Amino acid sequence: MEKIYDLIIIGGGPAGLSAGIYAGRAQMDVLIIEKGEVGGQITTTSEVVNYPGIKEISGHHLGIHMKEQAVGFGVQFLKAEVTDMNFKNDIKEIHTTSGTYKALSTIIATGANPRKLGFPGELEFTGRGVAYCATCDGEFFTGLEVFVIGAGYAAAEEAMFLTKFAKKVTIVAREPEFTCAKSIAEKVLKHPKIEVKFNSEILEATGDTKLRKAIFRDNSTNTTWEHIATDNESFGIFVFIGYKPQSDLFKSHVQLDSAGYILTDENLKTNVEGIYAIGDIRPKKLRQVVTAVADGALAATVLEKVVEEKREALGLEKEEKEIATTSDISKDISDSKFLDEGIISQLTGIFERFTSNIKIVAILNESELSKNIDGFLTEISDISDKITLKIYKEKENPELEKKIKLENYPTIAIIDSENNFRGVKFSGLPSGHELNSFILALYNIAGPGQEISADLKTKINSVNKQVNLKIAVSLSCSLCPEVVTGAHRLAIENSNITAEMIDIFAFPALKERFNLMGVPALIINDKDVIFGKQSIEEILEKLN
C-alpha cells in the first residue's frame, strides 16, 4: 500500500521544524521536504541573542538542534525540490524532484529570500562586491570598506558582524532612524567602526571586474556624495532591505495577498481545506525566529485533531511510525574538522547502507591543509570497511592525476567499485557545511543514492559535451552545499561532466583569477561565472 503521511511540511526553516517537532511529538507521521539546508534563513545569521531561554547561539547551530529534536520525535526528512502539487482532494499530492508524496494535510513553510533593491549595478556586481549574506561573504572584504543598505534588524546585526572583517562599515538607511530594537540600535551607533547615514540611499554602483565607485544621496539635503575605491582596491555593498515571500509555486493553489504572502486565518489555515501556512510566507508584523516557531506549534496542534478525524472519515489505518535515525542522509553533521563519537555513530549508519565499496583518493602536498585532510579522511575510512583510502604525494602517481584531471594540490577524488573516476573532486577540506556535500557524494556513488526522477536523469544524460564545473565555496556558507551537491550529482550521472568543490580561502588564486567576491560561485568551463544558490535543475539549464 502506498504510504500516506499525516502531514507533509514544505520547508525546513524554524517554522517548519517547529511544526515537525510538535506534530512528531503528537505521534503524527511527518515528512519535511527541504531543497536546501535545513534551518532556512536563520543559518546565515552569525548569532541569535533574542531567542527566549538561549542567551546566545549561532543560527547554524540553532537549526541543527531543532532538526535533531525533530528527528528524535520520528520526523522524516527529504532533500528535494517541490515542483508541483494537487491540493484538490482529501489526500494531498506533493510532486518533487524525488517523486510524488501523499499526505492528509500540508503545511507550507517556504519562508522568504532577501529582496533585491534594484539600483543600477546591483545585478552586474552581485558576487563581485554586492552581497546579501554577511556570514557567507564577509571574509572577502577583510581590510576593505563596506556599505550596509537598510535600517532594520538584519542590517544592524549584519553590520556588527561585518566589523570583524571590514576596516569601516557605513550603514545607509532611507529611514530617519533604525526600525529594530533600541538596544541593538544603540549598540550599532556606539560602535567605533560603524558610521550611520540616515535619510540616505544608494543611487548607483559602477566598476570593472569589481566595485570601484558608488553614488549615494542624502535625501534630507537633496545632495549626492560618492565613494571611490583607492589604490586599486574594491569595497562591498551588503543589501538588507527585507525579504520576498517564496510563494510563486503556490499562487494557483492557495490565496495570496497583493504582496505575494499566503493568507491564513487565526489558526494558520489557508482557503484550502487541510492546507496551512506558517512563518515568513504569510503576512505578519514581526518576522523573527520566535514568531516562526510559534506558528509551527499552533498549526501542528490544530492539525492533530483535523488529521485524526480525516483518517477516521476515510477509513485509513495508520502505519506504525518509523523513527528516522540514520535515514536522513542530508543532515549537516558538524562544524569541526574531525569527528566526535556522535558523528561517527551517525556516519556508521549511513555507510552501512552502501550497496558497493568505494575508494577515496587524496593527492597531498606538504601544506598544513594536507595534514588536516589526511587526518580527516583517515577517520572517515576507519568507520567502514566499505571505504578504502589511498593517499599519494604530489606527482607521485601521474597516471592517477591525469585520470582525475587534477588541477589543484591538495585534492580529494572519489573512485567507484569498478575503479572509475566519477567526476567528483574536493579541493580543500570538506568540513563545516561541506561535510554534508562530501557524505552525500560518497552515498550517491556507493549507492543506493538519493532518488531523482526519470525525467531529470534523461535531461542530465542529454548533456553530450565535456563540461568542467568548479564551485567556489566558503566553509561558513550555508548556501554553498546545494550548488556543490547538485554539480556533483550531475557529474556522477554523466561522465561528460566533472565537478570540483574549491575552498576559495584555501586557493586564493582562483579568487583573483575570476575576481570573486562572493560565494557560492559556479564556474562553467573556466569561462562563465554564476553567483548564488543554484538547484540541480538550474545548473543543468545553464549547461544546455
Cβ neighbours, 10 Å, residue 241:
18
Instruction: Inform me whether the pLDDT recorded for 97 exceeds 90.
Output: no
List of residues 6+ apart from 363 with CB closer than 8 A = 392, 393, 394, 396, 397, 400, 401, 404, 406, 409, 410, 411, 413
User: Considering the domain boundaries, does residue 323 fall inside one?
Assistant: no
pLDDT for 326 equals 35
Looking at the fold, whether 373 and 276 belong to one and the same domain comes out as: no
One-letter amino acid for residue 475 of the chain: L
User: Considering the domain boundaries, does residue 118 fall inside one?
Assistant: no
pLDDT for 285 equals 78
Looking at the fold, whether 18 and 66 belong to one and the same domain comes out as: yes
Model confidence at 329, pLDDT cuts 50, 70, 90, reads very low
User: Considering the domain boundaries, does residue 123 fall inside one?
Assistant: no
Name the grid cell of 461: 544524460
Rounded to a whole number of angstroms, the CA Rg of the chain reads 24
User: Considering the domain boundaries, does residue 510 fall inside one?
Assistant: yes
pLDDT tens digits along 470-493: 999 998 787 898 899 999 999 999
Looking at the fold, whether 35 and 78 belong to one and the same domain comes out as: yes
User: Considering the domain boundaries, does residue 320 fall inside one?
Assistant: no
pLDDT for 44 equals 64
What number is the average pLDDT over the span 413-432?
Answer: 95
Domain that holds residue 437: 341-543
Contact 380, 347 (CB under 8 A): yes
Of 138-147, 353-362, 430-439, 501-510, the range with the lowest mean pLDDT is: 430-439
pLDDT tens digits along 330-388: 444 344 446 777 678 888 989 999 999 999 999 999 999 999 999 999 999 999 999 99
Q: If we measure between CA atoms, which residue out of 325, 378, 385 comes closest to residue 352?
A: 385
CATH number of residue 531's parent domain? 3.40.30.80
pLDDT for 153 equals 87
Looking at the fold, whether 225 and 252 belong to one and the same domain comes out as: no
Looking at the fold, whether 532 and 402 belong to one and the same domain comes out as: yes
What number is the average pLDDT over the span 181-210?
Answer: 95
Instruction: Inform me whether the pLDDT recorded for 77 exceeds 80.
Output: yes
Domain-ending residue, one of 239, 257, 279? 239
What number is the average pLDDT over the span 417-439?
Answer: 92
pLDDT for 161 equals 93
Domain-ending residue, one of 239, 271, 298? 239
- E-strand stretches of 109-234: 112-114, 130-131, 145-149, 168-172, 194-197, 200-207, 211-218, 223-228
pLDDT tens digits along 233-275: 899 999 999 888 999 999 999 999 998 999 999 999 999 999 9
Alpha helices in 73-181 (DSSP H): 134-137, 153-162
CATH number of residue 150's parent domain? 3.50.50.60
Domain-ending residue, one of 179, 209, 239? 239
Looking at the fold, whether 224 and 251 belong to one and the same domain comes out as: no
Q: Does pTM top 0.85 for this prediction?
A: no
User: Considering the domain boundaries, does residue 297 fall inside one?
Assistant: yes
Looking at the fold, whether 157 and 186 belong to one and the same domain comes out as: yes
User: Considering the domain boundaries, does residue 328 fall inside one?
Assistant: no
Q: If we measure between CA atoms, which residue out of 184, 190, 127, 193 comes closest to residue 165?
A: 193
Looking at the fold, whether 351 and 378 belong to one and the same domain comes out as: yes
Looking at the fold, whether 412 and 528 belong to one and the same domain comes out as: yes
Instruction: For residue 257, give Cα distances in angstroms to 134, 251, 264, 271, 283.
Output: 31, 10, 10, 12, 8
User: Considering the domain boundaries, does residue 391 fall inside one?
Assistant: yes
Looking at the fold, whether 526 and 381 belong to one and the same domain comes out as: yes
Looking at the fold, whether 484 and 414 belong to one and the same domain comes out as: yes
Angle (nearest 5°) at CA 293 between 72 and 481: 70
Cis peptide before 520 (omega within 30 of 0): yes
Compute the distance between CA of residue 430 and CA of residue 56 in angstroms, rounded to an integer. 27
Instruction: Inform me whether the pLDDT recorded for 282 exceeds 50.
Output: yes
Looking at the fold, whether 189 and 310 belong to one and the same domain comes out as: no
Compute the distance between CA of residue 44 and CA of residue 476 in angstroms, rounded to an integer. 9
Query: Cell 531529470 maps to which residue?
Result: 456
Interstrand relation of 106-108 and 7-10 (parallel, antiparallel or unpaired): parallel
Q: Domains in the chain: how many in total?
A: 3
What number is the average pLDDT over the span 199-219?
Answer: 96
